[in-house]
Amino acid sequence: EAQVTQNPRYLITVTGKKLTVTCSQNMNHEYMSWYRQDPGLGLRQIYYSMNVEVTDKGDVPEGYKVSRKEKRNFPLILESPSPNQTSLYFCASSQGPQDGYTFGSGTRLTVV
Amino acid sequence: AQSVTQLGSHVSVSEGALVLLRCNYSSSVPPYLFWYVQYPNQGLQLLLKYTSAATLVKGINGFEAEFKKSETSFHLTKPSAHMSDAAEYFCAASPGYSTLTFGKGTMLLVSP
pLDDT digits (tens, 9 = 90+) for A13-60: 999 999 999 999 999 999 999 999 998 888 999 999 999 999 999 999
CA–CA separation, A46 vs B6, rounded Å? 21
A38: chain B residues, CB-CB within 8 Å: none
Reply yes or no on whether the pLDDT at B30 is more than 90: no
CA–CA separation, A29 vs A87, rounded Å? 26
Model pLDDT, residue B41: 83
CA–CA separation, A84 vs B74, rounded Å? 33
Q: List the single best residue of A23, A43, A45, A52 to mutate versus B (max B Cβ within 10 A).
A: A43
Confidence of residue B33 (pLDDT cuts 50, 70, 90): very high
The average pLDDT across B33-62 equals 91
CA–CA separation, B66 vs A68, rounded Å? 37
Comparing A41-45, B78-82, B83-87, the range with the smallest average pLDDT is A41-45
Question: How far B77 CA sits from the closest chain A CA (Å)?
Answer: 20
- The dihedrals phi and psi of B62, each to the nearest 5 degrees, come to 80, 5
| CB-based contact B89:B109 (threshold 8 Å) | no
Model pLDDT, residue B87: 96
- Torsion, Cα A63 A81 A94 B76, to 10 degrees, reads -90
| CB-based contact A29:A95 (threshold 8 Å) | yes
Reply yes or no on whether the pLDDT at B52 is more than 80: no
Model pLDDT, residue A74: 98
CA–CA separation, A15 vs B38, rounded Å? 30
Q: How many CB atoms lie within 10 A of CB A53?
A: 10
Of B51, B95, B98, the CB nearest to A33: B98
Reply yes or no on whether the pLDDT at B40 is more than 70: yes
Reply yes or no on whether the pLDDT at B42 is more than 90: no
pLDDT, averaged across chain B = 91
Q: How many CB atoms lie within 10 A of CB B87?
A: 21
| CB-based contact A20:A44 (threshold 8 Å) | no
